[in-house]
Amino acid sequence: MTVIAVISPKGGVGKTTVAVNLASAMAENGRVVRLVDMDPQNALRLHLGADPGDVNGLVHQTLQQSSWYYTEYDSAYGVSFIPYGRVSEVERITFEAYLSQTPNWLRDNIAELDHDPAGLTIIDTPPGPSVYVQQVLSIANLVLVVMIPDAGSYATLPAIEGLLDYYCAHRSDFYGSYYVLNQFDAEHPLNRDIKNVMQNTLGERLAPHSIHRDESLSEALAFQQPAANYAPHSQAVDDLAQLAVWLENKVARVAR
Ligand SMILES: Nc1ncnc2c1ncn2[C@@H]1O[C@H](COP(=O)(O)OP(=O)(O)OP(=O)(O)O)[C@@H](O)[C@H]1O
Ligand SMILES: [Mg+2]
């Protein structure tokens, strides 16, 4: 079992979009992939055709002391997913307090569910530091940091590196953190400049393929399906397919 955390310092950069579409591309290539939504927005499931009225998710299972087993859904796109769930404010506060007192919560739940050494669990998170990111980074074998090519994102690099140092770097089961540039527009000189600076700063840790800004990703979400199903010939789907192969390579080294 390999756990990949998808994080970002800023909101709205494309974490959920990248998590879902990379997962479906990797499943397409034969990997068994489970997605876990650790974000109270509970939006990941909407990329996979979930019933919008379904309130079930990992928060309710936890508060009822029940297993994630009862809240794992198969999608029509080769990946299974565990939603956060639709919760009241009181439930969210209770859950977050429970998480801060139960540091092994995520590790235990994933271990209970996943007995496949070749299985891959990709976990989506809310932006910035939180009790969610803390639990996810504490068990991730690989981390993907999603960035957009602007100066504001670049300025957050030291903070992200600090989080990775604190939660990941010392663990023997941690295999590395990588950055992915999303919403890249090669026509914009500033986008190209930021990409160059990031390449100089991060070297091999910057994924070799950026994901272009491409409306088909937003449209796919509106149609509640991965972009590879909605617009298989789009630029972003091609970018994501290349990234999936690159990431599969990293996972294969971990899962060996
Ligand atoms: N490469 C892209 N090109 C165009 N639109 C994109 C791209 N990536 C993501 N988007 C759009 O940007 C919006 C935000 O994406 P998403 O919800 O995945 O970001 P997020 O980082 O998960 O946000 P949050 O921090 O709120 O969880 C969505 O409307 C999505 O469709
Ligand atoms: Mg998100």
Q: pLDDT, tens digit, for every residue of 19-44? A: 999 999 999 999 999 999 999 999 99
Contacts of 236 (CB under 8 A, 6+ apart): 21, 211, 212, 214, 216, 217, 227
Calculate the average pLDDT of the chain.
Answer: 96
Res. 255: pLDDT tops 80: no
The parent domain of residue 91 ranges over 2-254
pLDDT of residue 256: 61
Res. 147: pLDDT tops 80: yes
Closest to 167 measured CA to CA, from 208, 129, 207: 129
Give the distance (Å) from ligand 2 centre to CA of residue 256: 30
Cβ–Cβ under 8 Å, residues 15 and 146: yes
- Report d(CA 247, CA 174) in Å as an integer: 15
Give the distance (Å) from ligand 1 centre to CA of residue 12: 5
Percent with pLDDT over 90 in the chain: 93
Beta bridge partners of 7: 145
**pLDDT tens string 79-90:** 999 999 999 999
Domain count, the chain: 1
Residues within 6 Å of ligand 1 by CB = 8, 11-17, 39, 41, 126-127, 182-183, 211, 213-215, 217-218, 221, 236
CATH of the domain at 24: 3.40.50.300
List the 73-74 sheet strands across, edge first.
73-74, 79-82, 33-37, 120-124, 2-7, 142-147, 176-181
68-72, 94-98, 204-208, 211-215: least confident range: 68-72
- Report d(CA 134, CA 141) in Å as an integer: 14
Tell me the mean pLDDT in the region 180-200: 96
Task: Among 215, 218, 221, 224, name the best residue to mutate to test ligand 1's pocket (greatest count of ligand atoms within 8 A of Cβ).
Answer: 218
Instruction: Let me know the angle formed at the C-alpha of 72 by 67 and 73, rounded to the nearest 5 degrees.
Output: 160
Percent with pLDDT over 70 in the chain: 99
